[in-house]
Amino acid sequence: MVQKKTGGDEGTGYPAAGAVVGRRAVTRSAVLGASTLGASLVLAGCGGAGGGDTGAATGRQGKAGAPKTPGPKAGTGEGGGRTVRLPAPTGPHQVGVTTLHLVDRTRRDPWDPKIPVREVMVDVFYPARTVRGHPVARQMTEGAAGMFKMIDVSVHRLPKKGVNWAATTTHSHAGAPAAAPARSARRPVLLYTPGGGDPRTMGTGVAEELASHGYVVVIIDHPGDAGEVEFPNTTAERPERIRPTVFRADPRRDPKIFRTVIHTRIADIRFVLDQLEVLAAGRNPDAEGRALPEHLDRVLDLRRVGVYGHSAGGTAAAEALYEDRRIAAAVNLEGYLDYPPDKPGREGKLFPVARHGVDRPLLLVGTDGFPERRALGRSWSAMLAHPGGRTRRTQLDSAAHWVFTDYAAMAPQLQAAGLMTADDRNRLVGAIDPAESVPRVRHDLRSFFDRQLPAG
């Protein structure tokens, strides 16, 4: 096996200009930038659904793998409309969360030539020493939720009315002090990169689960690619705080664009790792210098790093494992390991990780409901064929592509409330009961990382 390090080599609807997002009016330029992707759009490497700060105290559920328990039910939000709920984490730790704005001044933004730097937004979830006096965080800010309603709702055939997306609370407490493990000074670190076009916030449930079991989990937004990203400020080159996706069609239809998607994500992952090293050294990497949670810098064990990703994020996670030896293990949740073909009838070139193999653990997780599973299987089979490799594959049945995200719990709530059809729910996450799918996905991820980078 060769191991080498390479460089990070149905209808379209436009939201009305001047539409209100949260408490802020969105300008015409931001709205035109959002340019909704269409109800049947399938995003990068996805396959598809349509073809395409206070809150309640943290609840407790049985451990992953335990007998089924009923999933959460949608409630009525204080701002009007249903509130979808996230399943509680099952671990022994309460969870803290903080948001960082990271700026890479060595790279220009690949999607907007006017922006001379690469900005990344991340949330960091971690075991908390205490949560007293620290409010429960919302899943999305009001502004991001407003743009989500314009873009992501159409992409995934979610209800356009009747849901208060800004009202969903997490089970994490903003700014709570970090808890050091009992026997060692630091905790393993996991990075999450979402599916193409999806915001990082749709990976909140799994991140909270892993943090409740002793991991520090960093979920990453990839601006320009993600449906929407909200920044803490504006700049001369980026006059809006909320930046929508640039995509008008499936990036995988264009090999050159898809290459940019994946390699930008890999570079973002590696940059975030660089900034975590800055944090672990006792410095503050946040671009605005906002206060960090107490002791967060002391609990990062960057000798034990894993990456997991969904769809295009799964592609990036696997390739980042190949390119960066700081990463000890990775999970690819239904992401291609090849480029799209440059001409019809041809096969696309394999990514280096599938072409050469990798000497560290890689888990491939798919579903039986993925429309392009035959095409996906080609690159996965190439990955699994390497002699002596440490790659394994598993599958969720009665499931569909977005079952690995918070939609697994949300879509059944919306269907039960009469806001989503069974067909749309099944295209998104499958017919599988969330009382089965949510614990299964959590268990698969946690058991894999517990073996490869055991948490304290």
What's the pLDDT tens digit per position in 78-124? 557 899 999 999 999 999 999 999 999 999 999 999 999 999 999 99
For 221, residues 6+ apart whose C-beta sits below 8 A from its C-beta are: 120, 121, 122, 194, 199, 200, 229
Please give the share of the chain, as a percent, with pLDDT higher than 90.
Answer: 76
Predicted confidence at residue 373, as pLDDT, reads 93
Task: Give the Cα separation of 362 and 385 in Å (integer).
Answer: 13
**Per-residue tokens: 207:** 């991140």
3-state SS class at 384: helix
Task: Give pLDDT, residue 10.
Answer: 26
Strand ranges for 50-93 from DSSP E: 75-76, 82-83
- pLDDT in the model for residue 118: 99
10-24 confidence digits (pLDDT tens)? 222 222 222 222 323
Mean residue pLDDT of the chain comes to 86
> Which residue, among 217, 141, 206, has the nearest Cα to 178 in the 3D structure?
217
CA 43, distance to chain mean position in Å, is 14
Q: What is the pLDDT of residue 72?
A: 67
**Span 234-250, pLDDT tens digits:** 999 999 999 999 988 88
Query: Low-confidence residues of the chain, pLDDT below 50?
Result: 1-70
pLDDT value of residue 71: 54
pLDDT at 25: 33
* Structural domains for the chain: 20-452 (3.40.50.1820)
